[in-house]
Structure 1
Amino acid sequence: MIAAEQVRAFRGMTRAGTRSVLIYRGDLFTGAVTLVIQVVLAIAVWRIVYSGRPPVNGVDGTTAVAYAAIAVCLQSALLPWQFSSLPMRIRTGQIATDLTRPLGLMWQALGQNLGVLLARLPLGAIGLAAAGLLGALLLPPGLSALLLAVIATVAGAMIAMLCNLIVSMVAFWTLEISGPLIVYRFGSSFLSGSLIPLWFMPDWLRASIEWLPFQAQVYTPVSIYLGQTRGAEAVALVGVQLLWLVVLTLLLQAVWARARHKVVVQGG
């Protein structure tokens, strides 16, 4: 009975997160227009870069353009400007009410983040539709690649939500986290491969990035979908994603244990 109530509570937080996005129709329209512009610019830039050039590192222009378009759409869904209400609730003191609810605070935050992600999926679909109209999309090399890419996309979304929540929890110490959020957004965009695919980076930089969880968010699913990563290597990358899910979950629990103590010190 308790488990069923918690599931219902989690679903309620997910619905609340979805409504918090859908209620602002003007923002949704602006976001859709902005994403389409980003997709068009990404396609134009990579087509210019590859104009009259042979494949680079085994990647031809068509694949690079498709990667850029898909990565922009995926990143827009995984990293919204306001990906969590937790900092605001900490700043206003609403966190005290959240802590009294039967559903744990971390599950509340994850449910809300999931709702935001689901609400932003149509924006990504609009971006992909624009890329399709411009002839920038490619089909995966086979059904197995498509299925593995779907699994990698879901795992990447979960990794992104955990990373986003960990960054949001900085608010327990600083209250105002606009600066850290901006740094995180730009850093994540670069390190995830959404701006520049990892196969174009120097070996020393790529080796360093592969030790971080960001490339698992965008580069892994897109590279598998386009067939640039295949077979055992693709399965290994999905395995790395699963490992990061475990590591980030443990890290979130450790940060929350410290943050809970901080709330007590603040007199929450």
Structure 2
Amino acid sequence: MRRALRGYRAYVRAAVAIRLQYRITIFASAAVTLLWILLVTRVWSAAYQGRDTVAGLSRESTVVYLTLASLQAIVINSPLMWIMAARVRSGEVVFDISRPLGYPGQMLALQAGTSVTQIAVTLLVVPLAGLIGGLSGPAGLAAGLLYPVALLLGWMLNGLLSLLIGLTAFWTVENTGIAVLYRFVAAFLAGASVPLVFFPAPLRAVADALPFRYIVYQPAAIYIGQVDGAAARDGFVLAAGWIVALSGLTALVWRQAYRRTVVHGG
């Protein structure tokens, strides 16, 4: 167990080192996120003209939600889909699967290292995001304590879902189309740009039945006080259930993907 943990820590450190090689890209992404916060919050502020609340959310709460959702995207954004596809295309994946550490665990460790860097960048831009988007503190002490838990569960779900999409490369080799489609659908159903409370009833039912809502909506809604008490607790239970189910599905898909691996040469 200790040897395995040392191995996974090495992957985390490697991911941090890799991300730091592209610092300009990291800060460019942060700048784009700040611009997105500016545009989205201004549009939604205009939509509230003449109204105090819409679907139970005040203008201030909606602006904070959207600002927070954009910042969360920096933290949980996963490059696994593209990393895995690139390594399958180049054949480097043979080195990954030949290591004593499990392949899914290696990829999740890379994701953890990437997130460490992205958290640092997020903390740097939070003051600017607060100035631009009007980010305020959590709705209360309970919201402040529950928010990190919700965000961690969302991070785990996003990592597992990204890993599953990345594994499609073992069948398709080039999975860019699948990855782009997934990112679009997942971001929308997670409530990244439109809070789920604004969804029409049929679409809200679909979003509530899928795991994406726990990636963006649940943490942000807890922060602003839209979800609390029993609703927050039930959300944690369901998110944990999804994590268990997706872990099992990942293990099953990985076994099938491993059987498809073909190595040419010596």
Counting aligned pairs with the same residue, the percent is 33
Supply the distance in 1 between the matched residues of 2:24 and 2:80 (Cα, whole angstroms): 15
Supply the distance in 1 between the matched residues of 2:192 and 2:73 (Cα, whole angstroms): 7
2:57 to 56, 59, 73: 59
| Distance 1:9-1:216 versus aligned 2 partners, 3 A rule | same
- Residue by residue over 1:62-120, the C-alpha shift from the partner in whole angstroms, topping out at 9 and shown as x without a partner, is 00000011001112322245665221111111111112211111111110111111111
Structure 1 counterpart of 2:46: 48
Supply the distance in 2 between the matched residues of 1:224 and 1:138 (Cα, whole angstroms): 13
The one-letter code sitting in structure 1 at the alignment partner of 2:119 is L
TM-align CA RMSD? 1.6
1:35 and 2:38 aligned: no
| Distance 1:181-1:60 versus aligned 2 partners, 3 A rule | same
1:99 and 2:105 aligned: no
How many residue pairs match? The answer is: 265
TM-score (normalised: structure 1): 0.94
Q: Give the drift of 1:147.
A: 1.1
Structure 1 counterpart of 2:215: 217
Structure 2 counterpart of 1:109: 107
- Residue by residue over 1:203-248, the C-alpha shift from the partner in whole angstroms, topping out at 9 and shown as x without a partner, is 1111111111110101001101110011111111111111111011
More divergent stretch after superposition (226-235 vs 35-44): 35-44
Structure 2 counterpart of 1:141: 139
Gaps of 5+ in 2: none
SS at match of 1:176: coil
| Distance 1:83-1:256 versus aligned 2 partners, 3 A rule | closer
TM-score (normalised: structure 2): 0.94
1:197 to 179, 195, 198: 195
Structure 2 counterpart of 1:178: 176
Contact 2:55/2:197, CA 8 A, preserved across alignment: yes
Contact 1:149/1:224, CA 8 A, preserved across alignment: yes
The one-letter code sitting in structure 1 at the alignment partner of 2:122 is G
SS at match of 1:85: helix
1:250 to 243, 248, 251: 248
Contact 2:82/2:176, CA 8 A, preserved across alignment: no
Gaps of 5+ in 1: none
Contact 2:78/2:162, CA 8 A, preserved across alignment: no
1:229 and 2:239 aligned: no
SS at match of 1:137: coil
1:241 and 2:239 aligned: yes
The one-letter code sitting in structure 1 at the alignment partner of 2:229 is G
Supply the distance in 1 between the matched residues of 2:166 and 2:184 (Cα, whole angstroms): 15
Q: Give the drift of 1:122.
A: 2.7
More divergent stretch after superposition (78-87 vs 15-24): 78-87
Supply the distance in 2 between the matched residues of 1:113 and 1:169 (Cα, whole angstroms): 15
Q: Give the drift of 1:131.
A: 2.4
Supply the distance in 2 between the matched residues of 1:84 and 1:62 (Cα, whole angstroms): 37
Contact 2:67/2:135, CA 8 A, preserved across alignment: yes
Q: Give the drift of 1:145.
A: 1.6
More divergent stretch after superposition (239-248 vs 76-85): 76-85
